[in-house]
């Protein structure tokens, strides 16, 4: 099971179960809470009515006195009330009064007059000066619907002369209980759903950072040049920075070892030539021979200098797993600058150098200096392999999300065996005019610049002779 799914399930279980149990507690507490509130109201009502009925009870006219008449009138009222969202049209109270023996002497419904209620808990306890209340089935033998009875003593001074009981069916408050429970369940469902959404978002946020770190680590292990994960101010960010620091140290050590070996290998030949020429110069020889050996020393020194400079330039771009500076670069201005830089070499080699773009106003995003150096390398190669009176063209056109920079020459072309090897470090072909080889670092440099700009470099032979060196660069 993936870590993201584990995190989500764990979060959802913790929050969801907690919300569920809390919701169940609320739901289970609604019914007793409402009934307790109703009982408290009945206590107040019973005691108020007991005081109001005391005069008629003492005078022996409780069944047909003012109190009985008032209760009857109250029972006939149309309340036209709306409690919360439920209508209430009549009074649900039932009032019964028993004498000191517990016999019913008044019943607002007229049903139980003369019945002995002295054994009922409400009457029994009240006659003994205690708080009396009970909950009994509305219909004997059926426990689904119950009625709450709350009693209060009717006093003549300190003597209890009767008991007034107020009864209210519990089903009269069931709509409120059901509505409250449904409301709690509905809001609880929203709470659980919101918790799941928050858990999903938190899991996605954490897993996204972990996945980025994982992809970065795998790319580093595979030797791919990739930028480090975006900085974060948390433990994942700290781990990413630690991995990047470790990568830089390990790659830096391996990079230095590799380049020291490469540079040492490439320096052996020119140093051997310089040493041989220097030893021969110590011997007596003709002036023309001395001049030839001195020129050889200068030539080898120039070769060493060029190799070191280009190696340093290549090392700089290869060490960057991503483009350090990105800004809009005008393709027209870039080609014009490259042509201007190479104009002197083209003139001395008697080669015509021109630039043109199929689409005016092309702009790419990248490093102007690196693009200029890369395109300049391609132009230098094209000039070096072009015959006198030849032509080199720098062309540009947009293809989808890429801009295609093409340097076209009329040289002898590249042999098939060397088509891929020319991108290896220190591999180069002899120039037709001089037979000399370059440092072999120009095209590897161009390939790295192309990679940094989201493109590539390719050498395409032309049917009529010559080569198209095509550098593609991403527009955005």
Q: What is the per-residue pLDDT for 100?
A: 94
Name the band, by pLDDT with cuts 50, 70 and 90, for residue 140. confident
As a whole number of angstroms, the distance between CA 266 and CA 444 comes to 16
SS3 of residue 198 by DSSP: helix
Between 68 and 459, residue with greater pLDDT:
68
Between 303 and 52, residue with greater pLDDT:
52
Indicate the helix (H) or strand (E) that contains 136: strand 133-139
As a whole number of angstroms, the distance between CA 263 and CA 314 comes to 12
Between 308 and 359, residue with greater pLDDT:
359
Q: What is the per-residue pLDDT for 208?
A: 78
Whether the pLDDT of residue 23 is over 70: the answer is no
How high does pLDDT run on average in the chain? 79
- pLDDT of 83-126, one tens digit each? 877 888 888 899 999 999 999 999 999 989 999 999 999 999 99
Maximum average pLDDT range among 179-188, 195-204, 288-297, 365-374: 365-374
Name the band, by pLDDT with cuts 50, 70 and 90, for residue 55. very high
Indicate the helix (H) or strand (E) that contains 329: strand 327-330
Q: Is there a contact between 65 and 106 (Cβ–Cβ < 8 Å)?
A: no
- pLDDT of 363-402, one tens digit each? 888 888 778 888 888 888 888 888 888 898 989 888 888 8
- pLDDT of 236-295, one tens digit each? 777 777 776 666 665 554 444 454 555 554 565 566 667 776 777 777 777 777 777 677
- pLDDT of 396-427, one tens digit each? 888 888 888 999 988 888 777 777 777 776 66
The least confident of 28-37, 104-113, 223-232, 346-355 is 223-232
Maximum average pLDDT range among 3-7, 149-153, 207-211, 389-393: 149-153
As a whole number of angstroms, the distance between CA 472 and CA 381 comes to 17
Indicate the helix (H) or strand (E) that contains 287: helix 287-318
As a whole number of angstroms, the distance between CA 140 and CA 438 comes to 113
Domains of the chain and any CATH numbers:
3-179 (3.30.450.20), 225-322 (1.10.287.130), 327-474 (3.30.565.10)
**Which of 146, 112, 118, 150 minimizes the C-alpha distance to 134?**
150
Q: What is the per-residue pLDDT for 57?
A: 94
Q: Tell me the CA distances in angstroms from 412 to 85, 114, 379, 432, 464, one per residue in order.
A: 95, 131, 15, 8, 10
Name the band, by pLDDT with cuts 50, 70 and 90, for residue 59. very high
- pLDDT of 299-358, one tens digit each? 667 656 766 665 565 555 555 555 666 788 888 888 888 888 888 778 888 888 888 888
């Amino acid at each position: 099971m993936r870590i993201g799914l584990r995190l989500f399930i764990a979060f959802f279980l913790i929050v969801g179960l907690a919300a569920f149990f809390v919701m169940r507690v609320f739901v289970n507490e609604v019914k007793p809470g409402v009934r307790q509130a109703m009982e408290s109201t009945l206590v107040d009502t019973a005691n108020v009515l007991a005081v109001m009925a005391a005069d008629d009870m003492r005078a022996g006219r409780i069944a047909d006195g003012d109190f009985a008449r008032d209760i009857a009138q109250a029972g006939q009222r149309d309340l036209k009330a709306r409690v919360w969202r439920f209508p209430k049209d009549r009074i649900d109270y039932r009032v019964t009064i028993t004498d000191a023996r517990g016999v019913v002497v008044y019943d607002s419904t007229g049903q139980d007059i003369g019945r002995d209620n002295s054994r009922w808990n409400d009457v029994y306890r009240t006659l003994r000066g205690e708080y009396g209340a009970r909950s009994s089935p509305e219909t004997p033998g059926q426990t689904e619907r119950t009625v709450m009875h709350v009693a209060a003593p009717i006093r003549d001074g300190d003597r209890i002369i009767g008991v007034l009981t107020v009864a209210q069916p519990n089903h009269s408050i069931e709509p409120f209980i059901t509505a409250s429970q449904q409301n709690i369940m509905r809001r609880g469902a929203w709470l659980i759903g919101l918790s799941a959404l928050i858990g999903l978002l938190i899991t996605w946020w954490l897993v996204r950072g972990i996945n980025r770190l994982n992809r970065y680590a795998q790319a580093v292990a595979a030797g791919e040049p990739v930028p480090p994960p975006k900085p974060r101010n948390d433990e994942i960010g700290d781990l990413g920075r630690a991995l990047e620091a470790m990568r830089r140290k390990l790659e830096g050590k391996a990079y230095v070892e590799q380049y020291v070996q490469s540079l040492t290998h490439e320096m052996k030949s020119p140093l051997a030539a310089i040493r041989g020429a220097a030893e021969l110069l110590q011997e007596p020889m003709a002036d023309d021979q001395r001049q030839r050996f001195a020129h050889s020393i200068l030539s080898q020194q120039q070769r060493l200098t060029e190799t070191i400079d280009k190696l340093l330039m290549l090392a700089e771009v290869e060490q960057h797993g991503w483009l350090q500076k990105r800004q809009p670069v005008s393709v027209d201005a870039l080609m014009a600058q490259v042509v201007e830089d190479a104009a002197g070499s083209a003139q001395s080699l008697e080669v015509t150098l021109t630039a043109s773009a199929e689409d005016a106003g092309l702009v790419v995003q990248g490093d102007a200096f690196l693009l200029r150096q890369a395109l300049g390398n391609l132009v230098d190669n094209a000039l070096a392999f072009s015959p006198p009176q030849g032509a080199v063209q720098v062309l540009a056109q947009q293809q989808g999300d890429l801009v295609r920079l093409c340097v076209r020459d009329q040289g002898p072309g590249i042999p098939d065996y060397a088509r891929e090897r020319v991108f290896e470090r220190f591999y180069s072909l002899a120039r037709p005019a001089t037979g000399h080889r370059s440092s072999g670092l120009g095209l590897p440099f161009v390939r790295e610049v192309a990679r940094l700009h989201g493109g590539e470099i390719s050498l395409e032979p032309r049917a009529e002779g010559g080569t198209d060196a095509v550098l593609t660069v991403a527009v955005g």
